């Protein structure tokens, strides 16, 4: 079932969809959680508003992408297979480019530079190199991460939007995101493209894997299997989650009108892992919560989005509990 067959964008929050009419949009990493939502949303805008947006995605596995989008009636979707681990490529002429080519989790036996850093930077260099070649000044949305801020203390309730300081001890994922921001905002890049690199925090909802490293996905899996919700780390760890219909509107507003600003995207409303697990238990199995490693040091990963909201005039429209109910309904209808 295509995502947007069940999730209309109830609030476009002032999104100027007319600026997308007859445009061409390229998405690097178009089969991930965010990429899939973007493709589904753009396809819905085409279907409902006749925008005639041409969508091209780059993916490492064309067969997987064809299967993913087969039921979505994506008649203006082109799928190109390329693995940015192996180098750069000329992308083609596009009005908008969205870079989401960085995987979110490592793989056993693989060098993390090959998983995170090299594909990310090869994608960025492909964007810059193509813009130099075709000279059409594309607007570029580079999906960065709140990870660029490094450790966020529990006493800091919401990470402010500020310049990130590159840390020598940063892991390859942090380095990839931070380096992509620097490259796309360099004087060389700014001569040929218009970029924005929002730092993305945590999200949830249809399409998020239930068997990966995402705690909220694991909690939903536990609840739907009929057992207690297992919290693997500290019950005091704090996270916040944004539903993807809000996420895609925020992203599209930013790529239509990119700003060279330090901006965050995510929910400002935080919750402990214990409270989140308890909520999901009540919505599913009602078997309570089991703490696996409660002595694990607690962490914090919650943004301030004050700068982004003031620039783009947006708000979060779907609360966490309501969003989880929508997600559960979608899962049960699969």
Domains along the chain?
A: 19-201+243-267+303-317 (3.40.50.720)
103 band by pLDDT with thresholds 50, 70 and 90: confident
The β-bridge partners of 92 are none
- Within 13 Å and on the Cβ side, how many CA atoms surround 172? 17
pLDDT band, residue 114 (cuts 50/70/90):
confident
Q: DSSP label at 19?
A: G
pLDDT given at position 260: 86
Report pLDDT for 292. Answer: 96
* 1, pLDDT greater than 50: no
**What's the whole-number mean pLDDT along residues 84-104?**
92
Can you tell me the mean pLDDT for 297-325?
96
Which secondary structure element, helix H or strand E, spans residue 275, and what is its range? helix 273-283
pLDDT of residue 110: 57
Task: State mean pLDDT over 235-245.
Answer: 97
pLDDT of 242 strictly over 60: yes
CA atoms within 13 A on the CB side of 286: 0
What residues have CB less than 8 Å from 72, skipping those under 6 apart?
A: 2, 3, 4, 5, 39, 40, 43
Q: What is the pLDDT of residue 213?
A: 87
Express each pLDDT in 188-215 by its tens digit.
Answer: 999 999 999 999 999 999 999 999 989 9
Name the pLDDT band for 309 (thresholds 50, 70, 90). Answer: very high
Q: What is the mean pLDDT of residues 286-292?
A: 97
pLDDT tens by residue, 224-235: 999 999 999 999
- Does 300 score more than 70 pLDDT? yes
Percent of the chain with pLDDT over 70: 93
Query: What's the average model confidence in pLDDT over 108-125?
Result: 80
Reduce the DSSP state of residue 13 to 3 states and report it.
coil
- Mean pLDDT of all residues in the chain? 92
3-class SS string, 157-220 = CCECCCCCCCCCCCCHHHHHHHHHHHHHCCHHHHCCCEEECCEECCECCCCCCCCCCCHHHHHH
Task: Provide the 10 A C-beta neighbour count for residue 179.
Answer: 17
Taking the C-alpha atoms of residue 158 and residue 54, their distance in angstroms, rounded to an integer, is 38
Q: Does 216 have pLDDT greater than 90?
A: yes
184 has pLDDT over 50: yes
Res 84 pLDDT > 70: yes
Is the pLDDT at 109 greater than 60, yes or no? no
């Amino acid at each position: 079932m295509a995502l947007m067959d069940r999730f209309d964008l109830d609030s476009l929050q002032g999104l100027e969809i007319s600026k997308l009419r007859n445009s061409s949009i390229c998405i690097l990493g178009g089969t991930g959680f965010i990429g899939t939502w973007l493709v589904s949303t753009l396809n819905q805008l085409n279907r409902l508003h006749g925008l005639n947006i041409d969508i091209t995605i780059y993916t490492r596995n064309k067969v997987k992408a064809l299967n993913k989008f087969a039921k979505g009636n994506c008649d203006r979707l082109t799928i190109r297979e390329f693995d940015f681990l192996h180098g750069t490529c000329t992308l083609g002429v596009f009005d908008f480019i969205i870079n989401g080519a960085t995987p979110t989790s490592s793989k056993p036996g693989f060098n993390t530079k090959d998983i995170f850093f090299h594909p990310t930077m090869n994608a960025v260099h492909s964007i810059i190199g193509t813009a130099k070649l075709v000279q059409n000044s594309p607007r570029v949305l580079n999906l960065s991460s709140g990870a660029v801020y490094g450790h966020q203390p529990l006493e800091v309730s919401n990470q402010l939007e500020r310049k990130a300081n590159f840390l020598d001890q940063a892991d390859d994922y942090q380095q990839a995101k931070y380096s992509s921001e620097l490259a796309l905002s360099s004087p060389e890049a700014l001569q040929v493209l218009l970029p924005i690199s929002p730092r993305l925090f945590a999200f949830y909802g249809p399409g998020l894997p239930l068997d990966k490293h995402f705690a909220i996905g694991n909690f939903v899996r536990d609840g739907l299997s009929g057992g207690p919700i297992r919290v693997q780390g500290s019950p005091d760890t704090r996270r916040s989650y944004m539903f993807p219909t809000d996420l895609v509107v925020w992203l599209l507003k930013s790529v239509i009108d990119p700003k060279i600003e330090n901006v965050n995207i995510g929910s400002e409303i935080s919750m402990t892992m214990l409270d989140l697990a308890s909520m999901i238990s009540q919505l599913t199995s009602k078997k309570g919560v089991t703490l696996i490693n409660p002595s694990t040091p607690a962490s914090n990963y919650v943004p301030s989005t004050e700068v982004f909201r003031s620039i783009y005039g947006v708000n979060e429209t779907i609360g966490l509990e309501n969003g989880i109910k929508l997600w559960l309904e979608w899962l049960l209808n699969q």
